[in-house]
Chain A
Amino acid sequence: MNLEGKTAIVTGSSRGIGRAIALALGKAGASVVVNYSGNQAAAEEVKNEIEKNGGSAITVKADVTDYSQCELLVQSAIDHFKRIDILINNAGITRDNLLARMKEKEWQEVIDTNLTGVYNCCRAVYKPLLKQKSGGRIVNIASVAGIHGNAGQANYAAAKGGVISFTRTLAKELGSRNITVNAVAPGFIDTEMTGELSDQVKDQVLSRIAMGRLGKPEDVAEVVLFLAGSAHYVTGQVIAVDGNLSM
Chain B
Amino acid sequence: MSVENKVKDIISDQLEVAIDKLSAETTFEDIDADSLDIVELVMALEEEFDLEISDQEIENVKSVGDVIKYIESKV
Give chain A's interface residues, CB within 8 Å of chain B.
127, 130-131, 173-174, 176-177
Q: Which residue of A lies closest to B37 (CB)?
A: A176
Instruction: Show 9 residue pairs from A and B whose CB-CB distance is below 8 angstroms, ordered by the A residue.
Output: A127-B43, A130-B36, A130-B39, A130-B43, A131-B43, A173-B36, A174-B36, A176-B34, A177-B36
Q: Which B residues are CB-close (under 8 A) to A173?
A: 36
Q: Which A residues are CB-close (under 8 A) to B39?
A: 130
A131 to B43, CA, bound (A): 8
Question: Number of contact residues on B: which range applies?
Answer: under 10
Q: Which residue of A lies closest to B47 (CB)?
A: A131
Q: Are B43 and A176 in contact (CB under 8 A)?
A: no
Give residues of chain B (5-36) contacting chain A, Cβ–Cβ below 8 Å: 34, 36
A179 CB → nearest B CB, Å: 10
Q: Which A residues are CB-close (under 8 A) to B36?
A: 130, 173-174, 176-177
Q: Which B residues are CB-close (under 8 A) to A127?
A: 43
Q: Which B residues are CB-close (under 8 A) to A130?
A: 36, 39-40, 43
A130 to B42, CA, bound (A): 12
A177 to B43, CA, bound (A): 15
A176 to B39, CA, bound (A): 13
A107 to B40, CA, bound (A): 36
Q: Which B residues are CB-close (under 8 A) to A174?
A: 36
9 nearest A-B residue pairs (beta carbon)? A130-B40, A127-B43, A131-B43, A176-B36, A130-B43, A177-B36, A173-B36, A130-B39, A130-B36
